[in-house]
Structure 1
Amino acid sequence: MREITGIAVWDGHTDRGVSRLSWDGDNIVGLEPATDADGALAEYSIIPGLVDTHVHLGAYSGSRSVDWSTWPLITPAEERVFHIAANAQRAARAGVTTLRDLGGDATHLAVSRIFEEGIQDGPRLIVHGQVGMTAGHGDLFVPPHYPHRPPVADSPDECRKLVRQWARSGAHGVKIYTSGGVLSMGDRVGWRNQTNAEIATTIDEAHALGMLVAAHTHSTIGVDIALAEGVDSIEHGTGITPAHFDTLLERNLPIAPTLMINDAIADGRVPVPAEAQEKAKEVVAQRNAGFSGAGAAGIRFVLGTDANGVMVKFGDQHEEVRLMRAMFGWSAERALRAATSDAADAIGLGARVGTLAAGFGADFVVLRGHPARNIDDLNVDNIVAVVSRGRLVFGELPGAATAR
């Protein structure tokens, strides 16, 4: 068993003050007030590992220059699996110890199992398979005449079958689309993606098989459809208006706002086609209008970045949390909850991660500063050590950490 004592701890919900945290493998044994604090660790604090509810791990992870849009199409699955693992491990070293990939496949599921079994050190990885239509947002990342395409579903029966296939493969959930998107080729944000009957069937089958449904949407009509059909989370949500607030509050429905990536595309800070930049500008303008007042209304936004290693790096999650605090007028503590305990609950892991307490998984970050008091201290440069699944994956624990 290991412990670190005499250090300030924020447990995912509240400030616990100077404490003693002990863990045994991937299990927190205890968190108690420290009676032997000598002030040696006063400059440090501990928070739970961050939980990013919306990432895409399948991009090239190396240092050479590649075309981000074609690399996944021409690279064999046997090779891509190593890049998925490398991207996930990069996120963990930056303090993001739980990730949900929204649009994964068999390669992502393989990495998830490898991490879960301890064959390689890695974060907790939840994988959703997509259920979308031909010529929909999920399909339009592949050129029209390219023969190798992800699966699509173009009738209620096909949707039900594809959900069952994802369940058989071990997927943790499914992702649907109720609007077009920004980066997909020849797409329009306002395009309908699937019929209501197809969407309803997908959600019905997923829920019957115990899987959560995340809904990508950038349009107001897309939000209407997602709410009407009973999704479990809304991704992007840039079409939200005050007319949706009552329903969102009543259901306490989580929304991943993905602020940074849309800002970066709209501002031209990342290499994308002009078409994508123009779409992002429209999305950001609508988002800013719709999100005005959402924070004050208590809408449940959680950390979800759309990080792919290209437009948003694995480690940029810290900046996303700071952007969320500013956008929604939150306190530092409220912003941290959105990135830890509440994000974990949003993806069905609230009883295992995102909180530092006996019986939870041993995922935590040691930083210089106290981000629950000053959100600017939540910065990758301030990270001293990261423990993921009870294993040190980055840095060194401060001198008060002992084994016994």
Structure 2
Amino acid sequence: MSAKQCYQNFLNKQREQHLLRGIPANIKYDLDFSNNDYLHFSQHPSIIQAAQQALALYGSGSKASRLITHQQSAVLALESLIAKDKHSEKALAFCSGFQANVSVLAAVLDKKILGGAPLVFCDKLNHASLHLGCELAGVKQIRYRHLDMNHLEWQLKKHASTSNIRFIISESVFGMDGDIADLSTLIRLAKDYNALLYIDEAHSTGLFGPNGYGHSTEFPGEIDMIMGTFSKALGCFGAYVACSQTLYSYLLNRCQGLIYTTLMPPVQLATMQAAWELVPTAQKQVQALFELADYLRENLSLEGFDIGNSQTNIVPIRLHDPKQVLNYQQKLSDQGIAVAAIRPPSVMPLESRLRIALSLRHQKKDIDMLFNALKSLQQQG
């Protein structure tokens, strides 16, 4: 059998199971609940202006990798700002959250540097990039049940007698379920069992914490490594890792995803900084956003929809069957409503769902329209 036939067989199987993926149609929807532009910053005039000015002043590219280019002023200013607001010694900017997680974890979990394979304790529902980073490092994850701190502690106790270096890896807000990790307990367990704690704040940055800079800012100096993105609530692109001076220097020397890629263009760095500086100004509106999410959850629950343990502006509607999820998505699309259809491998088998993401663009009347459409589909069976 040829390689081409193997690929085609895979695609055929995906299609049969209603799991085949493709590029969405280019449609302008009346209501869009499918994207991650939570603060609607992608259209913010100040961020657009910053991009235009940077493009005019510096051109379209950074010309070389981070360790070679002399065009450093914009990225250093951004990293200094992030470090200050995240209460960390240093910060590093990355092209994307996926790149950051994969390349940073591959570097810090390096068994050659650590003198042996580390013990890596991971939430079962961590993002694919976190799992891949562990895989690239060649380490076997010790997975604990989602958000189950008792199970994590049991796993830590089970391996307490070994001398291997320990890591705990979790998201703070989980992007597919909209639930929140118990950071205070994760911090305590990391201290009790001498583990390095790595937290992914992709869906937390911009919405949580005293000034909107993520849940981790409620625990200054207590988390070893924090990754966050600019591509969700902040409406642009890129990522950061906040860490100690030692880890910063180590990543500059060992993180291949940083060393061997071109520095982000000035226009991207300008939008990142402009968005970051705007975050505190949006926090009063964020409270209204969460109230809208509560309103939606209350109505969905009363109608018997399975919304899991959502606590944020991300609300899953678990239908379990991927065919039904696609059917709901299409019928909502026909009514001018965009929602995301999430199927394996993005979620576990039998966990297919619609993913509803609320943003500052949405109003109560929009929630009512979505809810009434969902209720009608449920009644149709």
- Fold match (TM-score > 0.5): no
* TM-score (structure 2 length as normaliser): 0.30
Which structure carries more strand by proportion?
Answer: 1
Q: What TM-score does the superposition give when structure 1 sets the normalisation length? A: 0.28
The structure whose residues are more often helix, as a share, is: 2
